[in-house]
Copies of this chain bind each other. A is one copy, B any other.
Amino acid sequence: MQTMLEEMVEKYREVGHQGKLADYIPELAKQDPLSLGIAIRTVDGEEYSAGDCPLTFTLQSISKVITLILALMDHGEDVVFSRVGMEPTGDPFNAIYKLEMYSPGKPLNPMINAGALVVSSLIGGNTVDQRLQRVLALVRDMADNPKIEINTAVYHSERATGHRNRAMAHFLKEFGMIDDVESTLELYFQQCSIAVNCRDLARMGLCLAQYGVNQSGKQVIPQELARLVKTFMVTCGMYNASGEFAIYAGIPAKSGVSGGILASVPDKMGIGVFGPALDEKGNSIAGSALLKGLSRSYNLSIF
């Protein structure tokens, strides 16, 4: 598999030419669009990696999976799903119009920005920092890596430019869907700035593939929640390209605008991918292609 992975990375690396670096967060625009890395960790304990695996990047929207798990652990499904729906939207991740159209103020799902803001507002803790530490603790548990931290430069960059997220938070406040705008935004900008590499993501994916049991054998997420978030990853994990990704890859996955993708093949493996050039929907263009190729080669689709 190792050889195969290396060949595939080189093959798909070129796809990066067709993508574009995220430019709305200045820190994200400073990357090499042809970077591409992958790491895999199987349920049998084997680990493979290829390409620019050691590079560090930030979770961005991948963090929405983590906070969803935490909010569900803190409050249960009834509370969480009274404030955020379960349906994919077909719209760009930062669209605001549907908040106005349907049951105003209730975001359609926790994987779009509006929904993720609601979820972040539900994370327990007395201060923003306490809440961030809980998010970090879960990321570290899933990845079995106690050294994971936030990237402060990216955090400040997001904070300074996140006007649209601020707009959404105030809009949600209007409808009583979040309580405190400022602390919610602070936590959100920080959770997006958690820095990882492909290996971390692979292990996080393994944890979900093993229904919440991380590589050291510890149950860090309740089994039922691990299943639930994998479902969201299929229906809404790749923004408004989730439907296509389900068809051509068929793997629960969550992408971020940093170019990272967290993928989890139930009962088989976790996969971490990084390729910073994005397609027009906001997914890593080479990373998506690589995952589709891998799924085809190793028959990984759950369908």
Contact = CB atoms under 8 A, between A and B. Distances in A.
A303 B87 contact: no
Contacts of A90: 87-91, 98, 102, 108-109
**Copies of this polypeptide in the complex:** 4
A234 B164 contact: no
A95 interface: yes
Contacts of A109: 90, 243
B174 A87 contact: no
Contacts of A1: none
Interface in A242-267: 242-244, 246-247, 250, 252, 266
A40 B28 CA distance: 52
Nearest to A250: B231
Interface of A, secondary structure class, is helix
Contacts of A100: 95-97
A153 B49 CA distance: 61
**Interface bracket on A:** 35 or more
Nearest to A235: B243
Given A88-B235, A167-B170, A228 B244 contact: no
- Smallest CB-CB A-B distances: 9 pairs: A97-B97, A167-B170, A88-B88, A163-B174, A167-B171, A89-B90, A87-B243, A166-B170, A86-B243
A266 B302 CA distance: 9
Contacts of A42: none
Contacts of A85: 243
Contacts of A244: 86-87
A159 interface: no
B88 A242 contact: yes
A232 B244 CA distance: 9
A285 interface: no
